[in-house]
Amino acid sequence: MRVLAALSGGVDSAVAAARAKDAGHDVTAVHLAMSKYSAASTDGRSRGCCTASDANDARRVADALSIPFYVWDVREVFESKVVQQFRDSYASGETPNPCVRCNEFVKFDYVLKRAVALGFEGLVTGHYAQIKQGVNGAELHRGLDESKDQSYVLAVMRSDDLSSVLFPVGSSLKTEVRSEADARGFAVSTKPDSYDICFIPSGDTKSWLKKELGTNSGAVVNHRTGELVGTHDGVHTLTVGQRRGLNLDQSKGPFYVTSLDAKTNTATVGLVNDLDSYEFVVESVNWLASPTTIGEAGGAFCVQIRAHHRPVAGKVTSTDGHQVQISFREPVRGLAPGQSAVWYSGTRVIGCGTIAKRESAGDGRKSSH
């Protein structure tokens, strides 16, 4: 096939492009210039993405593979669909995952559509996930390397796009990918993985949000008593599950943020058990398998509520085409509105959605699971 390989400047996308070429595909490389906020790190690790250094690393890989190389400026769509949504979500008292939104709106919407319009038959990336052919077509599965699996942040892909995407490193361990990059002579073979939020190169999300959204003093109240126990600088400076930096009397705690109300600019805190939930509602549902899968499986799936969260057995009940309810026999801890919930059947991604609200186990509610 004639494919477009997205080269980030890192080791995974480099090996992915090389494997695509080895497989006989006609490969063209593209580097995405996404964030105006990116900056080089000063601690020896890679913060952010799309720096001039990253672009140069990507170009060197393309040169080594003797494939065409281009840079696409996608800063406008990245700003509007990822960064602005990040601001808006925090301002609403939610905890967003920008990597999910970037995959949804930039890499597997804008870039894939543009690639197809230019005559490419597929998009190659260095994600740790696998596309497998099932009875009804292409399926998204976890990557072989459990510690690097990225199926959680890829679950927002549309089912129709799965047949147009290649994940050449998804069936390998990270150590194998680095060894292969070294054997191929890629200088990025020892390049550290990027981490944190790419458009906040300092790694200080709270300070970035204060700069972008300002401060707005509000009340901190006790979840169980309703008592005023402190103040905060704005719900956008907090996240559900947070314990550090609350400036509270912790002698009767420790206290954690249990919920945020943007309308009243109120933060509620409680004890660690108050973070437990038996059920929650998911909105903006995206199905990578037919919704009828729920009935076929009796609603029983493994549910992952954070990128590095251990999947938990749960029951998924569809309420309509855009919303589902998920419940558990045992409580799960730290559900944060704005985060993604992804449900799996074995290694296969069945669907995902955005956590909208939760019921606290501390309120006395129990799951009907």
pTM of the entire predicted model = 0.91
**189 and 307 co-located in one domain:** no
Are 317 and 249 within one domain?
no
- Examine residue 368 and state whether it is found in any structural domain, yes or no: no
Does residue 75 form part of some domain?
yes
Highest mean pLDDT among 43-57, 230-244, 285-299: 230-244
Max Cα-Cα span within the chain: 67
Final residue before a domain boundary, out of 255, 270, 285: 270
User: Could you tell me if residue 206 is inside a domain?
Assistant: no
How many Cβ atoms are within 10 Å of 56's Cβ, its own excluded?
A: 13
139 pLDDT higher than 50 = yes
Residue 72 lies in a domain: yes
Q: Helical H runs in the chain?
A: 11-22, 52-65, 75-78, 84-91, 98-102, 112-117, 151-154, 174-183, 205-213, 293-296
Question: Please, which residues have CB within 8 angstroms of residue 43's CB and are 6 or more apart in sequence?
Answer: none
Tell me, yes or no, if 352 is annotated catalytic: no
Print the SS3 string covering 256-323.
EEEEEECCCCEEEEECHHHHEEEEEEEEEEEECCCCCHHHHCCCEEEEECCCCCCCEEEEEEEEECCE
Question: Domain tally for the chain?
Answer: 3
| pLDDT-above-90 percentage for the chain | 76
Q: Which residue has the tokens 């063209």?
A: 28
Model confidence band, residue 323 (pLDDT cutoffs 50, 70, 90): confident
Instruction: Check whether residue 161 and residue 287 sit in a common domain.
Output: no
Q: Once rounded to an integer, what is the mean pLDDT over residues 203-220?
A: 94
Residues 109 and 253 in one domain: no
d(CA 265, CA 279): 25
* CA separation for the pair 335, 361 (Å, rounded): 12
Chain segment 154-193, per-residue pLDDT in tens:
999 999 999 999 999 999 999 999 999 999 999 999 998 8
Q: Residues 223, 131: one domain?
A: no
Higher pLDDT residue, 93 or 42? 93
Contact of 140 with 349, CB cutoff 8 Å: yes
Boundary of a domain, candidates 195, 230, 256: 195
Average pLDDT over residues 99-107: 94
Nearest to 177 by CA among 189, 195, 165, 161: 189
- Show which of 138, 162, 195 is a domain's final residue: 195
The answer on 251 and 284 residing in a single domain is no
Same domain, 255 and 314: no
Single out the residue of 330, 333, 342, 341 nearest to residue 369, CA to CA.
330
User: Which is nearest to 14 in space by CA: 187, 137, 130?
Assistant: 187
Residues 53 and 127 in one domain: yes
User: What is the model's pLDDT at position 364?
Assistant: 44
**Three-state DSSP class for residue 239:** coil
**pLDDT exceeds 80 at position 357:** no
Pairing of strands 300-304, 312-320: antiparallel
CATH of the domain at 251: 2.30.30
pLDDT at 210: 95
49 has catalytic annotation: no
Q: How far is CA 353 from each of CA 14, 168, 306, rounded to the nearest angstrom?
A: 31, 26, 12
Pair (314, 338) in one structural domain = yes
Q: Is residue 238 part of a domain?
A: yes
Residues 79 and 147 in one domain: yes
Q: Say yes or no: 355 and 340 in one domain.
A: yes
Position 100 in a domain: yes
CATH classification of the domain holding 333: 2.40.30.10
* CB-based contacts of 100, cutoff 8 Å, min separation 6: 153, 155, 156, 340
d(CA 51, CA 45): 13
Whether residue 204 lies inside any domain: the answer is no
Among 170, 190, 195, which Cα is nearest to 178's? 190
Q: Domain limits at 61?
A: 2-195
Q: Is residue 240 part of a domain?
A: yes
Catalytic residue among 49, 99, 198, 352, which?
A: 198
Task: Tell me the angle at which helices 52-65 and 11-22 cross, rounded to the nearest 10 degrees.
Answer: 20
User: Which domain CATH number covers 93?
Assistant: 3.40.50.620
**297 pLDDT band (50/70/90 cuts)?**
low
User: Based on the domain organization, do 73 and 19 belong to the same domain?
Assistant: yes
